[in-house]
Chains A and B, each alone.
Chain A
Amino acid sequence: MTKNLNLWVIPLLPLIGAAINGLLGRRFKNAMVSAVALLFTAASFGWAAWAVWTVWPGSGIALPHIETLATWITAGTFSAPFGFYLDQLSMIMVLIVTGVGFLIHIYSVGYMAHEGGYYRFFAYLNLFMFFMLTLVLANNYLLMFVGWEGVGLASYLLIGFFFLKDSAADAGKKAFIVNRIGDFAFLIGMFLIIQHFGSLNYDAVFGKIAEGHFTPEAGWGLFTAIALCLMFGATGKSAQVPLYVWLPDAMEGPTPVSALIHAATMVTAGIYMIARSHAIFNLAPHALQIVAIIGCITTIFAATMGLAQTDIKRVLAYSTVSQLGYMFLACGVAAYSAGIFHLMTHAFFKALLFLGAGSVIHAVGGEQDMRRMGGLRKLIPWTFWVVTIATIAIAGIPPFAGFFSKDEILGAVFHSPYGGPVIWAIGVLTAGLTSFYMFRLWFMTFFGELKLGGVDVGEEAHSAHAPAQAAHGAASHSHGHADDEAHGHGGVHESPWIMLAPLVILAVLSVVGGWVGVPQFMRGHNEIEHFLAPVMESPAVAGEQPAPTVRVLDTTNAPEEKPTNEEWLLADTSVAAALIGLFFAYLFYYKRPELPERITSKMHGIYTMVLHKYYVDEGYGALLVKPLLALSTVVLWRGVDQGVIDGLVNGAGTASQGVGNELRRMQSGNIRSYAAWVAIGGAAIVGYMIWLGVTR
């Protein structure tokens, strides 16, 4: 049974909203702008929910449900359609994107109320929704790439939303450029796919793989190459080592943007892409191993960097990088459904954390430095409670959402041939660190005493902010002042209901979101894994393939066969790690706040290194940016552009001027010399004719 769901409507609705607000919004009142933005986003969510409901497994409609609207590009035998693809994976993604997106739209109405460029903000936000939905609904890699690039554009526009601030404009550029590096690899991967499959359509590519055209001897090197290219593309969008550097800087954007784009949806595009391409990755064991290692490095690396940050949004940014590392790790051990599960729960609690942080920042008048906060528990109780829920969720304490998804990943890592106990141990350590820095944030923000404006100069100097961060701090003050004026009072205040409502909804989701994935050994049914199983059980597996493939896919089924004791042990270990993290955070930042000071002064070298984020930015600056800049300046600009290109243009001008200068000497005004020229010319012609006659 097939049914036309008009899937194209889902991305189109936000685009209409973006067009209306973008083109006409300048003349609208704020209420009108928000009405348009919310209406189209809600309609998109509604349509998506209806479509998902219609094709829900058991409805009799075959999945994946593919709708082709029109042919987009035809060149020779290659063609790419405007086509949409709805299966279990894109169902989850489309619901997350429209659902969380809609909540964040609501929140933004309150958060952005006093900012300039209100219509611009909502136009960009809707534009982002359009591209993100294109990305997750596309039925071929090329259309996915359109969405992929489009969300990059929207991200750039929104990071640089306060474009008068240099640091924001720079952060936007940085995000765009770093992403381009990954996109380049993605493109190469697509070219390889076109070359060897003749199509970019998912069904065609995966179908060919399923038919078993490729034997280990003939095709696997190719798969490794494609998988590595796609993976490198994903490291750009999903902020993995080595391309993660743009994400912390992206916090220059307004907080709802950080929540929507740089935590919940866009940065998960890389994970989605890998999960979507799992058929390719499953045939490339080496690529999977590298994905796992990159995920593992990223997760621990970012977690340690999060330890020393004092800007509330930057802590969350590094936390996002770290959690994305978990998802990468899950993909690397071929536990794609665990990765998508974590993507989903992470979307809930990280969006909640960012929005909660936005609410805190809003409450304290634009301050982002956690050292100036404290004691906000009583002042903004709603925010306090929702952030508490999110913190417990991300720390991985049951029964909140983060526990189940993280446990799922760690369990898969432990049993996978690409993971193993070492990577598992790093994952558990990261879980402990995550818990530590999240509760550090929680204690610093909500407990102790309010220290607004009270950070002494010594500490400021001691912490030796990176220049970008210092500029950021200054700018956020100005934001705060604007806010104060608008409100007419400067005291700490709870956010309006329009900001709290989405927080509460997300908080509920952060609690219950994990329950769809309660593993079997806890008497759950792990619905999400069964739900995703038809997608993730790549047809390529089936018996014809030689052993290694089967081994790869075993991991998804492995937990069911293992003794439950081991499962319990693994789960208990990660919970223990989370509780230890909680304990240390309690000790350092609540019980004995002087301890961190003493420890950091003892381990000054390491602390400074962590504070400066391992000097990665500086290292990239010295190793890549400076040489590239020098090359561009000396060779490309002065050499090629000024030397060759300008040289050619100017040279043509100078040459004609010079020739003219010489030729004008013939114009002497002396009639007899003119006559002589005529005579010489005549003589030359006569001479030529004589020569013709003689030689004939």
Chain B
Amino acid sequence: MVPLSWYLILSGILFSLGVLGFLLKRNIITIFMSIELMLNAVNLTFVTFANYWHTHPAVLANGDPVIPLSGQVFVFFVMVVAAAEAAVGLAIIISVYRTRETLNVDRVNLLKL
């Protein structure tokens, strides 16, 4: 069985790639994809722990059992929010492109002093 840490390391690598992509890329679409990457890195962590607590039942400090399913449910929530965000985000991107005729974020810098 693959150890827990491997999943977490993979998730960390994915998240870092997402951050780097977000910071370094200039194209809004690519930045948007980096955000998705970070979200899914987090989803991977959720699923990993859900599985882990399923196979290693445990109790919380107050005596309640850990419910493994909650991690999986969270993943669905994240997906729903991500989908909504994608819809809004893409709409904004289209609107930006229409007005500025560019997708380079360095040139979308009017909101400053």
Contact = CB atoms under 8 A, between A and B. Distances in A.
The answer to whether A binds B is: yes
Interface of A: 664, 667-672, 675-676, 679
B113 A664 contact: yes
A667 B112 contact: yes
A671 B19 contact: no
Contacts, number: 30
Which of under 10, 10 to 19, 20 to 34, or 35 or more describes the interface residues of B? Answer: 10 to 19
A280 to B, nearest CB: 74
B112 A672 contact: no
9 contacts: A668-B109, A669-B109, A669-B110, A669-B112, A670-B106, A671-B105, A672-B26, A672-B106, A679-B23
B19 A670 contact: no
Nearest to B26: A672
B19 A679 contact: yes
A520 to B, nearest CB: 99
Contacts of A664: 113
User: 7 tightest A-B contacts by CB?
Assistant: A669-B112, A669-B109, A671-B105, A664-B113, A667-B112, A667-B113, A675-B23
Given A668-B112, A669-B111, A669-B112, A675 B22 contact: yes
Nearest to B110: A669
B23 A670 contact: no
Question: DSSP class of A's interface residues: helix, strand, loop or mixed?
Answer: helix
Given A675-B22, A676-B23, A670 B113 contact: no
Contacts of B22: 672, 675, 679
Interface in B68-94: none
B113 A672 contact: no
Contacts of A669: 109-113
A688 B112 CA distance: 31
B105 A672 contact: yes
A667 B110 CA distance: 11
A679 B110 CA distance: 22
A396 to B, nearest CB: 89
Contacts of A679: 19, 22-23
B112 A671 contact: no
A670 B26 CA distance: 11
B66 interface: no
B108 interface: yes
Contacts of A675: 22-23
Nearest to A672: B23
A676 B109 CA distance: 15
Nearest to A673: B23
Interface string B14-31: 000001001110100000
A671 B25 CA distance: 11
B113 A671 contact: no
A237 B22 CA distance: 85
Given A676-B23, A679-B22, A679-B23, 14 more contacts: A667-B112, A667-B113, A669-B110, A669-B111, A669-B113, A670-B105, A670-B109, A671-B106, A671-B109, A672-B24, A672-B105, A672-B106, A675-B23, A679-B19
